[in-house]
Amino acid sequence: MEIKVLGTGCPKCKSLEKITRETVEKLEIDAQVTKVEDIVDIMNAGVMQTPALVINGKVVLSGRLPSEKELTELLTQK
């Protein structure tokens, strides 16, 4: 699984990266988590509000932080 956290470095973006990494580890998901901070790359992904979460090339969350339950559901969907 490829997971990208899109955000320019604001506190919410950093929080999303932190909770995503923690949840991936907790659920023992085989995933590569990367942080994308380049605004051009973020806009090319079609994201206008950060933070955003991209799983396997699909934007699944944008403009807010998810609850722990919602993040778990996003990461475990097939």
Domain edges within the chain: 2-73
* pLDDT for 78: 59
* pLDDT for 77: 86
Active site members: 10, 13
**Which CATH architecture is the domain 2-73 placed in?**
3-Layer(aba) Sandwich (3.40)
Stated pTM of the model: 0.93
Instruction: Give, for all 78 residues of the chain, the pLDDT tens digit.
Output: 999 999 999 999 999 999 999 999 999 999 999 999 999 999 999 999 999 999 999 999 999 999 999 999 999 985
| DSSP sequence for 3-55 | EEEE-SS-HHHHHHHHHHHHHHHHTT---EEEEE--HHHHHHTT--SSSEEEE
